[in-house]
Amino acid sequence: MSATPPTKRSRSEASLTRSLQKGQQTKAAIVDAALGLATQIGLEGLSIGALAEVMQMSKSGVFAHFGSREELQISVVREYHHRFEQEVFYPAMSAARGLPRLRAMFDNWMKRTSVEIDSGCIYISGAIEFEDRPGPVRDALASSVSTWLAAMKRAIDIAVEEGHLRADTDANQMRFEIHSLILALHYEARFLRAPDSLQRALAAFEGIVLRYAAATEAQPAASAPRKTARKTRAVT
């Protein structure tokens, strides 16, 4: 039997599918370029015109994918959060419950931070840009950061449940202290250009864990510091 020739409707549907796929690919490429710009110049530095130049597209072509500069900024925040989860959170889920998983989360966070010492962090730069500016972009940023910090707190809670940390551990306080290390690291490495910032952050994390560790939990090997993703160096 001969194959049934495609109908006009099936050809139209196939054409529409290809068009949608191409549109999604183009939008993803624009968001990727926008994220690259935002890490260097901040979310507020983004403009439809600048992206159109980078993408070699018309302004109307870029605008058609987002509808507004604000929606572009929100798309960048969402993409940054997605990549953060893929690099930091999900790989840590393969570690054993409790302190090993908490350590993995912090280690992955440090690996990403060691790269962002050069490129910049959307969470930190965005917080400065939008701290006193209510609106959808600020909401997207705050929601992303809160989601990550809640995951960190949950990891601490599980470490308490597993008996790795003391039963009276204040999970919010420990989470605050760990988060503070990352903020201090960015400040010292990017602004003060201190060459030993990564090592100090790692040592501080070990100190935090030691203070909260249960009596039966073995002390971390402070004499054998873990390797970082790259050699610490001052930024230019």
Residue 222 has pLDDT above 80, yes or no: no
pTM as predicted = 0.80
Domains detected in the chain: 71-212 (1.10.357.10)
pLDDT at 233: 39
Residue 16 has pLDDT above 70, yes or no: no
Grade residue 19 by pLDDT with cuts at 50, 70 and 90: low
pLDDT at 217: 57
Model pLDDT for residues 146-185, shown as the tens digit of each residue = 999 999 999 999 999 999 999 999 999 999 999 999 999 9
pLDDT at 210: 96
pLDDT at 57: 87
Whole-number percent of the chain with pLDDT over 90: 55
3-state SS string for the chain? CCCCCCCHHHHHHHHHHHHHHHHHHHHHHHHHHHHHHHHHHCHHHCCHHHHHHHHCCCHHHHHHHHCCHHHHHHHHHHHHHHHHHHHHHHHHCCCCCCHHHHHHHHHHHHHHHHHHHHHCCHHHHHHHHHCCCCCHHHHHHHHHHHHHHHHHHHHHHHHHHCCCECCCCCHHHHHHHHHHHHHHHHHHHHHHCCCCHHHHHHHHHHHHHHHHECCCCCCCCCCCCCCCCCCCCCCC
Residue 31 has pLDDT above 80, yes or no: yes
